Chains A and B, each alone.
Chain A
Amino acid sequence: MYDIVKKEVLSPGVLLFDVAAPLIAKKCQPGQFVILRIDEDGERIPLTIADFDREAGTITLIFQEVGHTTRQLGALNKGDAILDLVGPLGKETHIDNFGTVICIGGGIGVAPVYPIARAYKQAGNKVISIIGARNADLLILEKEMAAVSDELIITTDDGSKGRKGLVIHPLQEMIDAGMKIDLVMAIGPVIMMRSVADVTRPHNIHTIVSLNPIMVDGTGMCGGCRVSVGNKNKFACVDGPEFDAHQVDFNGLMARQRMYHDHEKTERCGGGSCKCNK
């Protein structure tokens, strides 16, 4: 059992947990993830590691209540425990001094970007971060991102905080202004990552995205997380989760993420009549 030692509501429906997991905290690196199972009947879901404290032996998980399991997880409190937690899984982010790195986080995607941005900063890069959300209430980790970035740009869809618009708009402007960009790291909804890839592709700016497809085991055993990268199938759990954005088949990935969407609705909610908006 893995104890929840801290619970914080970051924004409506977005929660932060610190979980006691000394072995994972000792080993994990930016870019890696865990798989958890809440109880005996639970499903296994992957979550990226938003932070870690090696001394305290805790890892930080930030998640949005979007489905059955994340809602069930959100109902737990400090002092409760999670039955199974396995990790660190996946390859760690390649950290080096590249020069100027743009770190982009959309919505809940800011959480995994944070430790990566911090590591880039520590490695001597100039880090410019762009974080975005639908509105000001949903924006997370603003202070933390500011602390590890040379410059922080905020965008919201409705303009309630920072610039009105999408995360790709400031990126496009930097490129148009002729800024020398050595690397772009983008994590967020698939559609956002696809847009970022579309913006940087014509300029040959090396761009990395972190994928979070449907997974069962997270160790390369099921192949459910397969995604076409450069026309070859890769398993996001062991070959990734980070890939060259210009090689990823985002449309295929989006289709696969919908695999259980309707099924869950029908089976769990009697065809959606319960209005739980699943």
Chain B
Amino acid sequence: MQQVKHKMPEQAAEERRRNFNEVALGYEAETARAEAARCLQCKTAPCRQGCPVEIDIPQFIKHIKDGDYDAAIDEIKAKNNLPAVCGRVCPQEDQCEKFCIMGKKGEPVGIGRLERFAADYAMAKGREDKAEIPAEVLGKVAVIGAGPAGLTTAGDLARMGYKVTVFEALHAPGGVLMYGIPEFRLPKTIVQQEIAALRKLGVDIQVNAVIGKSYTIDELLNEEGFDAVFIGTGAGLPHFMDIPGENLNGVYSANEFLTRVNLMKAYKFPQTGTPVRVGRSVAVVGAGNVAMDSARTALRLGAEKVYIVYRRSEEEMPARHEELEHAKEEGVEFRLLTAPVQVLGDDKGWVKGIECIRMELGEPDESGRRKPVPVEGSNFVLDVETVVMAIGQGPNPLVQNTTPGLSVNKRGNIVADEAGATSKEGVFAGGDIVTGAATVILAMGAGKKAAAKIHEYVQNKKTAR
């Protein structure tokens, strides 16, 4: 049997670095069946322990192998409301594929690629969900935030028979899937099609609704008749470094840079109304997935040189290996063991460079990674006109500040147990707002657990009455 995954076709690096079309192109049916045939159909299915949304992986792969793609997507959708999204952006190497027996001697089965294949097949066919929504309404639940966590909770509760209203602050649902992850990794039409499927399940999505302003959580529970509230507001507050020059024109938070380009489609300006400015050379500070997305976006906006500036070494980079490789192939340059000291401006208030200092790795710090320490006198300047700060995001405090009785930790994240219950009765939370910035699939896993807990809570309350 073939020891390596079947390759997924993708746009050549030289071509794709200047366009916003999707990089990875997906399996053809024949390749998908061949890849599915690599699955050993282990009885113990170790892959399943790596899936936060508990998909029966061997089963859906078997359906693909048999050519029954409808059955494959039904199997996935029974557990996962956003398969076309997950098939593209899940870090499968750290999830399902990490546990695949095939990975012991060669490469694991391309579970993510197969999930994507099944999802894309169903979408291309315009196939509707096979979901039987119970006739009886079990209760009414409000979900705050239409990102991965909130959409998962909403979808699961809708399938159980709840009337779910999702409140979204932006004008389009999707959260980070819309504003954060670029078109070339996750086409926005795919996101909107997945969301359209949720609407077909009866999920009501109210956009332009800022909870904490339009309604408070207490109003939702006490005046608007919701039995429970789920908070999935994500990690939306951009961090800056607090170094001189950060307010110069040309310095963006990754959130602003990506929101302008992804949600507001600034890459089509002036056909669209939102501008974005990218100079000939760009420094992106940070080395997570958001940094890679920012760097690759800058290339596509026409930058000639794009640097990733990171204070540690490649080994400590938090980005997915695949993202790192894609960025390298496209020509992003890495300035590792390098930390910004200040952003330099011209006399009109525009960025003209970023002063950095070289670092070396010292003793391990509390994260277990070797702590970078500055090398005295090693300062140098990178000539750039744009700087994107991609050093992480914190929790937006809007909901917490307007919800008495809701406990938060010292970082401002909502305190919730494994199942999503918070300190406030009837209020549940999950995803980045609880854990701090993590991945789409972990947020979805939290949303799924919370949906089950909310069901239990609402039914207990109704029985007690």
Using CB atoms and an 8 Å cutoff, list the residues of chain A in contact with chain B: 23-24, 27, 37-38, 41-44, 68-69, 83-89, 216-217, 219-224, 226-228, 233, 238, 252, 255-256, 258-260, 263-264, 267-268
Contact = CB atoms under 8 A, between A and B. Distances in A.
A75 to B, nearest CB: 14
Contact of A217 (B169, B209, B213, B272): B169
A226 B207 CA distance: 25
A228 B247 contact: yes
Given A86-B210, A222-B256, A259 B277 contact: yes
3 shortest interchain CB distances as A-B pairs: A255-B349, A43-B273, A222-B256
Nearest to A227: B247
A156 to B, nearest CB: 31
B264 interface: yes
B182 to A, nearest CB: 16
A84 B273 CA distance: 14
A221 to B, nearest CB: 4
Given A41-B265, A83-B171, A255-B349, A219 B236 contact: yes
Given A216-B264, A226-B247, 13 more contacts: A38-B273, A44-B274, A84-B171, A89-B210, A220-B237, A220-B396, A223-B240, A223-B253, A224-B252, A252-B247, A255-B249, A259-B249, A263-B277
B271 A27 contact: no
Q: Is the interface of A mostly helix, strand, loop or mixed?
A: mixed
B125 interface: no
A146 to B, nearest CB: 32
Nearest to B216: A27
Contacts of A220: 236-237, 396-398
Main secondary structure, interface of B, reads loop
Given A37-B171, A216-B259, A233-B246, A267 B270 contact: yes
Contacts of B252: 224
B452 interface: no
Nearest to A228: B247
Nearest to A90: B213
A216 B252 CA distance: 12
Contacts of B426: none
B374 interface: no
A221 B269 contact: no
Contacts of A43: 264, 272-275
B208 A86 contact: yes
A159 B259 CA distance: 45
20 contacts: A27-B213, A41-B271, A43-B274, A43-B275, A86-B210, A217-B169, A217-B259, A219-B236, A219-B396, A221-B236, A221-B237, A221-B238, A221-B255, A222-B256, A223-B238, A223-B240, A224-B252, A227-B247, A255-B348, A267-B275
